[in-house]
């Protein structure tokens, strides 16, 4: 008898794998796609009637440079836009803030005012495209800038389609670009829910994100459980604000990672839809079926990309994207092979987009709904992930819910332990990573790396100085004072922030007003 390659068989996340699954295993009962609990997909015909949105994440340097990249991707077949902001913007800092020095435009586009936002989308009609913005603590301000930029193009905000990430709880858990204390952050989020429900009805007001939780080192089960626990916290906050579940829940969206374990990831997505339906139905009994449909965007795993032999990343991205499509994602970003080295070049970004197009047009996986349904292995993984994620959600609720557990540092600690275990497995060669600890070789020279403009910070500071010189200072000060009053007396802030943006108040100025009223915060690390 041949010796097995391993002595212990588990998925990437540590779930046990028997040699063969069997029909005697416990499975979730299958209903057709488009029917509750949506294990097989939220639409009856899925990609036979409409492909997923190919939404490549892009943003670097100036608004002008990112605008050029957007137009290139749209020309080459991208279906929607996805904006990466630089770290100062993510933290609500203007480009000329002393804390922004050296970081302007480095990992995303620099946006300090509505004038930058208008340049970012120049020549792109905002009432005809769908835009996703990865922004959290200052999400209200950036969405206000987008709305004003669209109105100044001649668009109506009721026609705007897109998503803001707006998920602050995962920032406390895994990513770190939070500003305000949890209670005040939750208020900003529910103010956005309330405003958009009536004023921007086609906008997805939150993208509840497991992606960064997974990038920080969680397992697939933890990614799902922590994400849905956060989602329940947002739902409960909105309900406590007096909102009816069916006025905001249909616009909730999710954002998941897709890692290397092909079948585990497919099972995770199928389990996610089923579990969200069951949680929402049991707890809130919504009248609108869309209130318990889990719609999600997927990005393949950035943490899986290697700087060693970077062209190997094309294979990793393809496997992960294929799993996301088979799992039923609504939109997808495929990483570029050079992202462990730097920002994507034009050539690598094109390869990433073409990967999605080849899967859509040449592989055949989009020709049938839930093509791996009925596989004993996949159905067993779907049920196992569902059960394990539900167990973790119940454990979080015993700690008082997601926000209380975050304040205790519990999710953070669980992620640290999982990340430590994974890295130990790699270092001890219990887990092989091609090019890192297996299949190593002398590196091929000559992979081009995109360089950002080192003078951008100075140029952005000059633009801000010009803006402040040419705007009406009295109108700006009055608008900022109205933001401060609304923050203090509990009124919905969004209309006041829009007014301040329209007056040409900057991102940092609006955020500083809110900091004065709300304070700032440092989350526990979990150590």
Residue that has been written with the tokens 């301000």 in this structure: 141
Question: Where do the domains of the chain lie, and which CATH numbers do they carry?
Answer: 50-427 (3.20.20.240), 458-518 (no CATH)
CA 94, 97, 103, 106: dihedral to nearest 10 degrees? 20
**Of 507, 450, 500, the residue nearest 477 (C-alpha):** 500
Instruction: Give CA–CA dist 421/430, Å, rounded.
Output: 11
pLDDT digits 0-9 by tens, 458-468: 999 999 999 99
- The predicted pLDDT at position 468 comes to 97
3-state secondary structure of 298: strand
Rg, the chain, Cα only:
23
pLDDT of residue 3: 61
Pairwise CA distance, residues 295 & 272, whole Å? 10
Cα separation values, 452 from 336, 348, 409, Å: 17, 16, 36
As a whole number of angstroms, the distance between CA 258 and CA 433 comes to 17
pLDDT one-digit tens code per residue, 138-196: 999 999 999 999 999 999 999 999 999 999 999 999 999 999 999 999 999 999 999 99
SS (H, E, C) 136-194: CCCHHHHHHHHHHHHHHHCCCHHHCEEEECCCCHHHHHHHCCCCCCHHHHHHHHHHHHH
| Both structure tokens of 407 | 């304040």
Q: Where are the beta strands (DSSP E) in 210-347?
A: 252-258, 296-300, 331-333
pTM: 0.94
For the beta carbon of residue 123, count every other beta carbon within 10 angstroms: 8
Residue 56 token pair: 């490549």
Write down the pLDDT at residue 50.
96
Which stretches in the chain have pLDDT values below 50? none
Length of the chain: 527
> Which residue, among 376, 437, 374, has the nearest Cα to 17 in the 3D structure?
376
Q: Phi-psi category of 77—alpha, beta or left, where left has phi over 0 and alpha has psi -120 to 50?
A: left
pLDDT for res 60: 87
Q: CA dist 195 to 55, 144, 201, 283, 295, Å?
A: 26, 11, 9, 24, 21
Share of the chain above pLDDT 70, in %: 98
pLDDT confidence of residue 460: 95
* Interior/surface letters 402-440, b for 16+ CB within 10 angstroms, e for the rest: bbebbeebbbbebbbebbeebeebeeeeebebebeeeee
């Amino acid at each position: 008898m041949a010796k097995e390659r391993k002595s212990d068989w588990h998925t990437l996340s540590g779930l046990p794998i028997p040699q063969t699954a069997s029909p005697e295993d416990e499975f979730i009962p299958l209903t057709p796609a488009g029917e509750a609990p949506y294990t097989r997909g939220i639409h009856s015909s899925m990609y036979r009637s409409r492909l997923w949105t190919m939404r490549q994440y892009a943003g670097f340097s100036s608004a002008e440079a990112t605008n050029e990249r957007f137009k290139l991707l749209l020309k080459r077949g991208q279906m929607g836009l996805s904006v990466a902001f630089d770290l100062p913007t993510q933290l609500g800092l203007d480009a000329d803030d002393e804390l922004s020095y050296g970081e302007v435009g480095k990992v995303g586009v620099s946006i300090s005012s509505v004038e930058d936002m208008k340049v970012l989308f120049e020549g792109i009609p905002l009432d005809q495209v769908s835009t996703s913005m990865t922004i959290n603590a200052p999400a209200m301000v950036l969405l206000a800038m987008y709305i004003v930029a669209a109105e100044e193009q001649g668009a109506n905000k009721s026609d705007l389609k897109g998503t803001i990430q707006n998920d602050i709880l995962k920032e406390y858990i895994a990513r770190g670009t939070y500003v305000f204390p949890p209670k005040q952050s939750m208020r900003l989020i529910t103010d956005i829910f309330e405003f958009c429900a009536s004023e921007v009805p086609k906008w997805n007001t939150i993208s509840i994100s497991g992606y960064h939780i997974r990038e920080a080192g969680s397992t697939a089960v933890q990614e799902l459980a922590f994400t849905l626990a956060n989602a329940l916290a947002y739902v409960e906050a909105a309900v406590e604000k007096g909102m009816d579940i069916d006025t905001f829940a249909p616009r909730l969206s999710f954002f998941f990672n897709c890692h290397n374990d092909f079948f585990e990831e497919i099972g995770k997505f199928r389990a996610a839809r089923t579990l969200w339906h069951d949680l929402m139905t049991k707890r809130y009994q919504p009248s609108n079926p869309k209130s318990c449909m889990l719609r999600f965007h997927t990005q393949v795993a950035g943490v899986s990309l290697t700087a060693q032999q970077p062209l190997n990343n094309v294979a990793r991205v393809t496997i992960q994207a294929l799993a996301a499509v088979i799992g039923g994602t609504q939109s997808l970003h495929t990483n570029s092979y050079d992202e462990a080295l730097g920002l994507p070049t034009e050539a690598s970004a094109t390869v990433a987009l073409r990967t999605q197009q080849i899967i859509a047009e040449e592989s055949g996986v989009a020709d049938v709904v839930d093509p791996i349904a009925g596989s004993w292995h996949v159905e067993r993984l779907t049920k196992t992930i569902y059960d394990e994620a539900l167990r973790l959600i119940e454990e979080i609720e015993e700690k008082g819910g997601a926000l209380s557990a975050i304040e205790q540092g519990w999710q953070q600690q669980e992620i640290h332990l999982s990340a430590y275990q994974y890295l130990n497995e790699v270092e001890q060669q219990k887990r092989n990573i091609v090019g890192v600890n297996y299949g190593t070789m002398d590196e091929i020279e000559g992979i081009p790396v995109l360089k950002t403009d080192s003078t951008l910070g100075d140029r952005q500071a000059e633009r801000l100085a010009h803006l402040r010189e040419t705007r009406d200072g009295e109108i700006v000060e009055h608008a900022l004072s109205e933001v401060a009053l609304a923050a203090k007396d509990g009124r919905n802030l969004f209309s006041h922030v829009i007014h301040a943006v329209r007056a040409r108040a900057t991102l940092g100025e609006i955020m500083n007003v809110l900091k004065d009223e709300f304070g700032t915060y440092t989350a526990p690390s979990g150590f």
